[in-house]
Amino acid sequence: MTPGEWIFIAVMATTLAGSLAAVLSGSLIYALFGLVTAMFGIAGIYIYLNAPFLAMMQILIYVGAISILIAFAVMLAGPMYLRPKEWTSPKKFVAALAVVLLSLLVLVGIIMGSFRAASGAKPLIVTTQELGRVFLDKLTLPFELISLLIVVSIIGAIMLALFSKERK
Amino acid sequence: MVNDLLKLAGSDAGKMVIGLVGVLLFVVVNALLLTWAERKIAGHMQRRIGPKEVGPFGLIQPIADALKLLGKEILTPAKVDKPLYYLAPTLIFVPVLVSFIVIPFDASLQVADINVGILVILAFSSITILSILMAGWGSENKYSLIGAIRSVAQNIAYEIPMLLALLPVVMLANSLSLREIVEKQQGLWFVVIQPLAFIIYFIAGVAETNRTPFDLPEAESELVAGYHTEYSGMRFALFFLAEYTNIFIVSAIAATFFLGGYQGPVLPGIVWFLLKSYLLVFVIIWLRWTYPRVRFDQLLNFAWKGLIPLAFLNLLITGGLLKI
C-alpha cells in the first residue's frame, strides 16, 4: 500500500473511533471529546481530498465553535456525570428505527448515485478565490438562503432570551 | 558520514525533523527568556530590582526554575478523571507547534507557506480552549471547573473580534498566506491603513492568551490557579510553556499582519521580525503590570457590545472603500 492509503486508513479510523466514542460513551463530556475527534477526522478527509480551505473551516467552525458551544451547554445543564436512568424507552426504539432507515437511504443513494464515476479521477484542486467566486456568482441563492437561516435562528434566540426575562 | 547527514537533512523528512527540533528549541528558549523578562520588567515597574542572584542580572534564574520543576515529583490527585487529566497538558501543545509551521520568520525562513496560512493558526488556536476545558473538567475540582467555564465564555466572545479584525487585512492583501501578506506591505505597513483593526486584534489577542487584565480563567485571588490548580511539576510547566509561547504567537501574528513582518531596512529580516514581535510581547507584559483585572460582566460586555460592532463597522468600511 502507498503511504497515502495508510494515511487515509488512519484518518478513517480516527473518524470512526471518534464517532463511536461520541455515540457509546456514557459520560457527556467524553461523548463531546469523541465528537471533536470525529470532526478532526473529517477535516483530515478534506485535506486528503485536496480541499485545505474546507478542512480549516471544518476545524474552525466545528471544533472551535460548535463543540465549544456544546461544552457550554453541557456545563450549564446540571449534573452531567450521571447516566440517564432508563436505557430502554419506546422513544429510543422509534429513534433507532428512524436512524437505521435514514442511513439505509443514504447508503443506497451513495451506491446508486453518480459518486462512483468520479472515484477513479484525481480530486480537483480548488483555490479559495475560486470558491469565493462560485459562492457569489453561481450559488448566490443557496448562499443567501443559508444566511437567512442564521438570521432566523438569531432572532429566535433573542426572542427566547426576551421571553424568559419577562417571566421573571 | 557528513555527506550522508547532509543528504538526510536535504530530504523532505529531514527538513521536517530539523524544523520540528528548531521550533521546540525556540519554544523553550522563548519561554525561559520571557519568564525572566516578565519578572525583571515587573520588578522595575514596581521599583524593585527583580531576580538578580543567579547569574549576571539574574539571567540564569529561569534555568534554575526549570530544573526545580523538572526535579519535582509528579503528583496525580486521587480523584481526577485520569485520561482527560493526562491528555490536557500534552494537547495544549498541538496548536502551538502547528502555528509555528506557517509563521514567516524571514523571507526564506518558514517551515511551509500554506495558502490558507492564517486559517491554520486560527483553526488550531481553538484547540487550546478544548485542552483548557479538559484540564478543568478532568481535575474534578470546583476552582478548575469555574476557570474552564470562564475560559470558554471568554474565548467565544473574543475569537469573533479577532477574526473580524484580521479580515480587512486579508481583503487588502487579497491572500490568506502569511508570506504574501508580508510581501504586500513593502511600501506601507497595514497598521497605517487599519489602525482600528490592529488595536482590536491586539486586545482580543491579550484576552485569548488569558493575560491580565483578562486573566479571569486563572485569577489567583479568586480561583487559586484556575484550570491548572491540580497540576504540579512538569505538567504545570507545560501549561506555562504553552502560555508564554501563545503570547509570542499572538505578537508574531500582529507583527506579520500589521507591522510588516520581516520587512525593514539595513538589518536582516529575522532581526526585524523578532524586534517587532518582542516589542509587542513587551507591551503585553507592560499591560499586565499596569491594569487591574476586569470583572466578568465587563469583559463580556466589552467584547459583545464594543469590539464586535466596531470590528464589523471597520470591515464594512474597508470593503466599501476597496470597491470604490
pLDDT tens column, B15-65: 777 778 888 888 888 888 888 888 888 888 888 887 887 778 878 888 888
pLDDT at A104: 92
Count of A-B CB contacts under 8 Å: 62
B138 and B85 in contact (C-beta within 8 Å)? yes
Q: Which residues contact A104 (CB under 8 A, 6 or more apart)?
A: none
A66 with A118, same domain? yes
pLDDT at B135: 83
Give A100 or B5, the one with higher predicted confidence. Answer: A100
pLDDT at B223: 75
**Residue A115 belongs to domain with CATH number:** 1.20.120.1200
A72 and B153 in contact (C-beta within 8 Å)? yes
A110 with A162, same domain? no
A72 with A143, same domain? no
A61 with A112, same domain? yes
Closest-CA distance, A140 to chain B, in angstroms, reads 19
pLDDT tens column, A34-70: 888 898 898 888 888 777 888 888 888 888 778 888 8
- Confirm or reject contact between A54 and chain B (CB < 8 A): no
Contact B152 A63 (CB under 8 A): no
Instruction: Select the residue from B126, B145, B167, B227 to test the A interface by mutation, using most A Cβ atoms within 10 A.
Output: B126
Residues of chain A under the 50 pLDDT cut: 168
A41 with A117, same domain? yes
pLDDT tens column, B85-119: 888 888 888 888 888 888 888 777 777 777 777 88
pLDDT band (50, 70, 90) for residue B224: confident
Closest-CA distance, B108 to chain A, in angstroms, reads 23
A10 with A57, same domain? yes
A12 with A38, same domain? yes
pLDDT at A85: 59
Closest-CA distance, B47 to chain A, in angstroms, reads 42
B225 burial via Cβ count (<10 Å: 0-12, 13-18, 19+)? middle
pLDDT at B292: 83
Pairwise CA distance, residues B268 & B291, whole Å: 35
Pairwise CA distance, residues B31 & B17, whole Å: 21
pLDDT tens column, B233-273: 778 888 888 888 888 989 988 988 888 878 778 778 788 88
Pairwise CA distance, residues A135 & B239, whole Å: 41
Q: Residue A135 belongs to what domain range?
A: 127-168
The interface predicted TM-score (ipTM) is 0.73
pLDDT at A82: 56
A117 with A76, same domain? yes
Residue among A64, A71, A128 whose CB faces B133 most closely:
A71
Number of neighbouring beta carbons within 10 Å of residue B157:
20
A11 with A32, same domain? yes
CA A110 to chain centre: 18
A162 with A106, same domain? no
Contact B156 A59 (CB under 8 A): no
Contact A53 B116 (CB under 8 A): yes
pLDDT at A87: 60
A140 with A99, same domain? no
In chain A, the number of structural domains is 2
